Amino acid sequence: MDEFSIADVLAEVAVLVKPHFGKGRPADYIPQLASVPPGKFGMAVRLVSGEEAVVGDADEGFSVQSITKIFSLGLALNRFGDEVWTRVGKEPSGTPFNHLSQLEAEEGVPRNPFINAGAMAICDQLMDVFKDPPALVRGFAGFLAGEKAEIDEAVAASELANAWQNRAIANLMRGKGTINHDPEAVVAAYCRQCALTMSCRQLARAMLPLAAGGFSPIVEETIFPERLTRRLNALLLTCGIYDSVGSFAYRVGLPAKSGVGGGIVAIVPGKAAIAVWSPALDRFGTSVVGTVALERFTQLTNCSVL
């Protein structure tokens, strides 16, 4: 990958994705996200070696949404270790990210930490020892990016006002003993966490430890043990794109996490962290243009792990 001019590759990707604008639509079940112009596109790549390149709207903040689940899971694993896996599994769900019947059939134990039920179980676990998990996630993300990150309170309120399915999930888990706190408090904390705003450039920098064996060249500190970093990347590859994870791996071939704000982060282990944003989503809740951009990037650079 170092043989290429990353800036030139991104410029070519920006041209190659143009025919795919107009496909999909923003997340209309969260009113604040539905109003984001669907023609936005940004992409950033940060190499472990220090090189950085961006294209398009890469410095415009957007709602990170489920990408924050990486930060919260990393915090929980650093704090609780394997105790995390007593509340949540490590398997792909094969169902939508807010599916209820699978959770009920499996006695309230979420399949993995990247679906909504799993992320709320992680949030509940953080609430055992931290007063304000969303502020913790915000601070951690900003620390890793080397810049302050903010929570968009309007997005958080919009999301909470429409979080009926998440309330049902939280209540089911409370009834089964998966979570310990008041379901409404867990849902409120989860919605605030998801309302984190970051840019592609900030996200690429923040995800760099997953590409560098747990070390952050941005803050010059080890964030995760190398063994944990490998496991996080494995979970991203198998569970990060919900029920379209197989087709995403087939097309892109990188560990990745999507969010319904239109962002996707992807990791090239040992080499780079990539972030892309375009708000229009496919039926699985993943950015249409963002997926194409990553597919073209891996084709041009031959950096797929598969």
Q: What is the pLDDT of residues 185-196, one digit of tens each?
A: 999 999 999 999
Question: What integer pLDDT is reported at residue 306 of this predicted model?
Answer: 66
- Does 116 count as an annotated binding residue? yes
- Does 226 count as an annotated binding residue? no
Average pLDDT over the chain reads 94
pLDDT category of residue 98 using cuts at 50, 70 and 90: confident
User: Would you say residue 119 has pLDDT above 80?
Assistant: yes
pLDDT, average across residues 149-178: 95
Handedness of CA 157, 158, 160, 161 (dihedral sign): positive
- Does 98 count as an annotated binding residue? no
Query: What amino acid is encoded at 254 in this protein?
Result: L
- Does 166 count as an annotated binding residue? yes
Question: What integer pLDDT is reported at residue 299 of this predicted model?
Answer: 95
pTM of the prediction?
0.95
User: Would you say residue 1 has pLDDT above 70?
Assistant: no
Any idea what the Cα angle at residue 163 is, between residues 159 and 164, rounded to 5°? 160
The DSSP secondary-structure symbol of 61 reads -
pLDDT category of residue 132 using cuts at 50, 70 and 90: very high
User: Would you say residue 91 has pLDDT above 70?
Assistant: yes
Distance, CA of 168 to CA of 69 (rounded, Å):
20
**What confidence tens digit (pLDDT) does each residue in 51-89 have?**
999 999 999 999 999 999 999 999 999 999 999 999 999
pLDDT, average across residues 94-110: 85
Which residue, among 280, 300, 298, has the nearest Cα to 290 in the 3D structure? 280
pLDDT, average across residues 237-258: 93
Cβ-Cβ contacts under 8 Å for 5 (sequence gap 6 or more):
none
Which residue, among 92, 190, 83, 69, has the nearest Cα to 140 in the 3D structure? 69
Question: What integer pLDDT is reported at residue 36 of this predicted model?
Answer: 92
- Does 242 count as an annotated binding residue? yes
Distance, CA of 258 to CA of 198 (rounded, Å):
14
- Does 29 count as an annotated binding residue? no
- Does 190 count as an annotated binding residue? yes
